[in-house]
Amino acid sequence: MALTKIVSTEKRLYSQTPLRNAVQLDKLKKYYRTVLIIFLPILFLTSCTSEFESFNNTAFEFASNNKRIDQKEFETLLEDISNSAERGFTQFKDENGEINNPKVVSYLLKYYSAKNLNLTEVDIWQPESLTKPKAFNINVYLENSASMDGYVTGVTDFETAIYNLLGDFKISKVCDSLNLNYINNSIPYSKKNALPADIQDFIEKLEPSTFRQKGGDRSVSDLKNIINTVLNTVDDQNAAVLISDFVFSPGKNVNAQDYLNNQGVGIKIDFAEKIKDFDLSAVVIQLESNFDGVYYDKTNKSIPFKGKRPYYIWIFGSNQQISSILDKKILDNIKGGYLNRLILQSIKETNNPNYKILSNLKIGDFSRAELNNKILADASLSKDNQNKGLFGFSIAVDFSKSSQDASYFLDTTNYELSNPNYQLEVELISNKNDASLSGFTHLLKLQTSDLRNENLEIQVVGQTPNWVYASSSINDSNILNEISEQQKTFGLQFLIEGLNDAFYPKSSSNAINIFTITIKK
């Protein structure tokens, strides 16, 4: 009983002394320390998500909701980009720190592809270009020399294609006024600002009798003069379309080779003069049509011919006008399609398409560390039996923005390498599901046994494509019996070479695109 009293007295005293407060304070400190020790690292770790990671997560959330990115969402993403200087965001900005929208879209598409969200470019809202292309007049010149009669006898592929092309020009927003003309040594017929009914009338009257009726000197095709006449009509307000078989007519008692050389040089000079003070571009399309009429060979001998014959549509205009026509896919929609296409643009500055070095398609070895700076570091030759002593790597390139045909970039003769010991192979990227190749069109595979420290320069050069040589003839006198000759055009090579030499003079580098890769052993 006495003991109980003592204990309760101690308890009472303890509760009334500062000792109690000290013990409680000690406990509180311990709790506080525990909380700090456990939660601070957690807080620290949870704050480790980078701004770029958070951008990716936001982009993923936006897209997974409704499989599209609307204006508000896109603008939110742009805001994230502009507010951060993190390394991941630098790929979206140019040298001035301005955001490049196509680069953002390209990255998002790659990212969504890697995340198995199948979004396409149309699913992502993009601001419209502030500089809306200006409409311009399109002057169409149809050559009506006698050699063209065979293309307009009855209903032909030629008429269908031209009707289709003119219709598309008329309804396109790029065309201000469509002017239709016949041309030979002069312009004997002209219809200004043709309406749909005029186009129909123009096509329906495409018959040899109308050609004759419209007049002019139909006996010869002086192509140099025709081209020069059309070229002179081209300016910032006017683009021109020239439709012809482009068969030279040297005539009797004339040395055909000399004639072709002279015409080629003349065409080159005319174009070179124009390019000097005008931002000129040219498109040449080769098409094919049924032909029923008289073919005039190099000596102007008439040969009745029925069968398929090539013809050409040339389009001249400023870079902007030609880009507008190409962007509208007007040429791709020509009924019956076309055989070949060549685009020539005056090289004011080389534009470099987006490209990257692939880290997996390689022979030998190199480090990924500086791949983004286009540097192959620690490069070494292969040691495996299959590729022993070889070194190779691959570049994915996006040529989609180029006006040139995709097939132009598949031809390795259109490339020049600073180290000729490298072998180049080019192929189209067909696997659209591979996120690492998403946004790229061509794969350039390079291989060498001569590995050294260097800046390897790969140039895509502007030159006459191989189809021109395959389609060109220098002797058409036996066209009736030689089937291959029927698919060719007399003197085409001289014509296109003249044109090509004007755009890409042999004295300069003529590089359309340049890729530089630094190789460090």
Instruction: Tell the smallest beta-carbon distance from residue 482 to other proteins (Å).
Output: 52
Burial of 512 per CB tally in 10 Å (0-12, 13-18, 19+): buried
Token pair belonging to 326: 């190409």
Return the residue of 76, 82, 84, 91 that touches other proteins, per CB under 8 A: 91
* 79 CB-near residues (< 8 Å, 6+ apart): none
Could you tell me the smallest distance in angstroms from the CB atom of residue 395 to other proteins? 13
Query: Is the CB of residue 443 less than 8 Å from the CB of residue 430?
Result: no
Mask of contacts with other proteins, 430-449, x by CB under 8 A?
A: ----xxx-x-----------
Nearest CB to other proteins, comparing residues 438 and 513: 438
Strands 391-397 and 355-363, sheet pairing: antiparallel
Task: Using alpha carbons, list the distances in angstroms from residue 387 to 180, 363, 378, 446.
Answer: 61, 7, 18, 13
Site string for other proteins, 245-274 (x = CB under 8 A): ------------------------------
Point out which span in 103-111, 123-131, 148-156, 326-334 binds other proteins (CB under 8 A). Answer: 103-111
Of the two residues 53 and 79, which places its CB atom closer to other proteins in the complex?
53
Window 31 to 90, contacts with other proteins (CB under 8 A): 33-34, 37-38, 41-42, 44-45, 48, 50, 52-53, 87-88
Binders in 356-375 for other proteins, by CB under 8 A: 356, 358-360, 368, 371-372
- Of 229, 230, 228, residue with least CA distance to 242: 230
Q: Strand ranges (DSSP E) for 195-296?
A: 238-244, 280-296
Shortest Å distance, C-beta 381 to other proteins: 17
Which one of 114-122, 141-149, 157-165, 337-345 is the stretch in contact with other proteins (CB under 8 A)? 114-122
Structure tokens at 317: 């205009």
Residues numbered 324 to 353 that lie near other proteins (CB under 8 A) are none
Terminal-residue alpha carbon distance, the chain: 94
Question: Would you say 187 or 371 has its CB closer to other proteins?
Answer: 371
- Pairing status of strand 375-380 against strand 511-519: parallel
CB of 60 to other proteins, least distance (A): 11
Q: Is 521 in the site for other proteins (CB under 8 A)?
A: no
Q: Is 349 exposed, middle or buried (0-12, 13-18, 19+ CB in 10 A)?
A: exposed
Minimum distance of other proteins from residue 91's CB (angstroms): 7
State the angle between helix axes of 71-82 and 51-66 in degrees (0 to 180), rounded to the nearest 10.
Answer: 170
**How near is the Cβ of 364 to other proteins at its closest, in Å?**
14
Q: Are 424 and 445 in contact, with CB atoms under 8 Å apart?
A: yes
Strand partners, 309: 289
Measured distance CA(354)–CA(347) in Å, rounded: 18
What is the gyration radius of the CA atoms in the chain, in angstroms?
A: 35
Q: How far is the CB of 85 from other proteins (least distance, A)?
A: 13
Please tell me whether residue 383 binds other proteins under the rule CB under 8 A: no
Nearest approach in angstroms of CB 22 to other proteins is 15
Nearest to 509 by CA among 449, 474, 458, 446: 458
Q: Which is nearer to other proteins, 170 or 374 (CB)?
A: 374
In whole angstroms, the minimum distance from the beta carbon of 24 to other proteins comes to 18
Interaction between residue 354 and other proteins (CB under 8 A): no
CA-nearest of 113, 65, 58, 110 to 81 is 58
> Tokens 């490069």 label which residue?
379
Residues 6+ apart with CB under 8 A from 445: 361, 392, 393, 394, 424, 425, 426, 427
Give the pair of three-digit tokens for residue 509. 């580098």
Smallest separation (angstroms) from other proteins to the CB of 249 = 57
- Give strand pairing partners of 316: 240, 282
User: Between 12 and 33, whose beta carbon lies closer to other proteins?
Assistant: 33
Q: Dihedral (C-alpha) 159, 165, 167, 169: value to the nearest 10 degrees? A: -150
By beta-carbon proximity to other proteins, the closer residue of 99 and 135 is 99
Contact between 170 and other proteins per CB under 8 A: no
Q: Is residue 203 a contact residue for other proteins (CB under 8 A)? A: no
For the bound state, the minimum distance from the C-beta of residue 49 to other proteins, rounded and expressed in Å, comes to: 8
User: How many residues at the interface with other proteins, by CB under 8 A?
Assistant: 33
Site string for other proteins, 116-155 (x = CB under 8 A): x---------------------------------------
Q: What are phi and psi of 220, to 5 degrees?
A: -130, 155
Count other C-beta atoms under 10 Å from residue 32's C-beta.
10
Among 115, 170, 445, 520, binds other proteins (CB under 8 A): 115
Residue 45 beta carbon to other proteins: minimum distance, rounded to whole angstroms:
6
DSSP codes, 414-439: GEEESSTTSEEEEEE---TT-GGGTT
Residue from 74, 111, 295, 312 binding other proteins (CB under 8 A)? 111
- The yes or no reply on residue 7 touching other proteins (CB under 8 A) is no
Return residues touching other proteins (CB under 8 A).
30, 33-34, 37-38, 41-42, 44-45, 48, 50, 52-53, 87-88, 91, 107, 110-111, 114-116, 356, 358-360, 368, 371-372, 434-436, 438
